[in-house]
A = this chain, B = another copy of it.
Amino acid sequence: MTAEFGPDNARPSPRRARMVSRGSGVALPAASAAASLLALCLLWGLAAGMWPSRAFPPPLEVWRVLLKEAASGDLGFHLAMTLWRVAAAYVVAMVVGSVLGVLLGMHRRADSFFNPWLVLFLNLPALVVIVLAYIWFGLTEAAAIGAVAVNKIPNVVVTMREGARALEPRYAEMATVYRLGPLDQIRHVLVPQLQPYFAAASRSGIALIWKIVLVVELLGRSSGVGFQIYLYFQIFDVAAILAYTLAFVAIMLAIELLLVQPLERHATRWRRRSA
């Protein structure tokens, strides 16, 4: 949208532009991420120094707590429990939600019938779903993960449905004419068009799931970061809460930088890069 080099330069002086070399390996993202995190820590440290408050400990204190919790093994255990729940719920929610979303987006009739259900499930408070799940299926791991998935599925459906509605019909027509098999259609026609929607649903999905997992753990599990955070919340130990939170964020960040971004760069390399 930047029109900086539009042809509206008033002076008729000759325009010159040199070829720019594009060196975008892995070094650049890593360096930029490091700089970014450093800047964040600095900002945080400054802010914590300016408004000292028990509710806002400086980074070093959080780091100390983090090390302590890690040394005691608690951090590892609870983090692992939470990660496993997040991963399981994520897989269930993305698979079920994507399939439902794409189907609804393609079938106008079904969509207008099921839309009210979708609105209902979208707006059911996590508390309600979680409590009902625990009541019906017992205080089990399956109930916990199921409840989280049910909370997230409507969000995935809504996003993927928009994607399916925005599909370009010409590609589907080409596929029909050349009789691509169903698998080929999905793999080569459908999935690439839905990729940005999937990425959006996926990113905000993981975050939402993790937040609901926290509630699930608070309401009826005996392990996990949510359980710990709540424990520390009761004694108002914000440094410990942040330590657990940041440990999870660090893992998410590592996944993002080492796995998701390279994959995404690869999946979207066909897009014309803006000059």
Contact A162 B196, beta carbon cutoff 8 Å:
yes
Task: Report which of B5, B128, B257 forms a contact with A245, defined as CB distance below 8 A.
Answer: B128
A42 sits at the interface (CB 8 A): no
A241 sits at the interface (CB 8 A): yes
Looking across the interface, which residue of chain B has its beta carbon closest to that of A170?
Answer: B272
A120 to B254, alpha carbons, bound, how many Å?
A: 12
Expressed in whole angstroms, the minimum distance between the Cβ of A176 and any Cβ of chain B is: 5
A113 to B257, alpha carbons, bound, how many Å?
A: 12
CB under 8 Å from chain B, chain A span 38-70: 40, 51, 53, 55-56
Q: Specify which chain B residues have a CB less than 8 angstroms from the CB of A5 in the assembled complex.
A: 176
- Chain A residues packing against B (C-beta within 8 Å): 1-3, 5-8, 28-29, 32-33, 35-37, 40, 51, 53, 55-56, 106, 109, 112-117, 119-120, 122-128, 131-132, 135-136, 154-155, 158-159, 161-163, 165-166, 169, 172, 175-177, 179, 182, 185-186, 189-190, 196-197, 199-201, 203-204, 206-208, 210-211, 214, 226, 229-230, 233, 238, 241-242, 245-246, 248-249, 252-253, 256-257, 261, 268, 271-272, 274
Can you show 14 pairs from A to B with CB atoms below 8 A apart? A1-B186, A3-B176, A3-B185, A6-B177, A6-B179, A36-B113, A36-B115, A37-B116, A55-B132, A115-B256, A119-B252, A123-B249, A125-B245, A128-B242
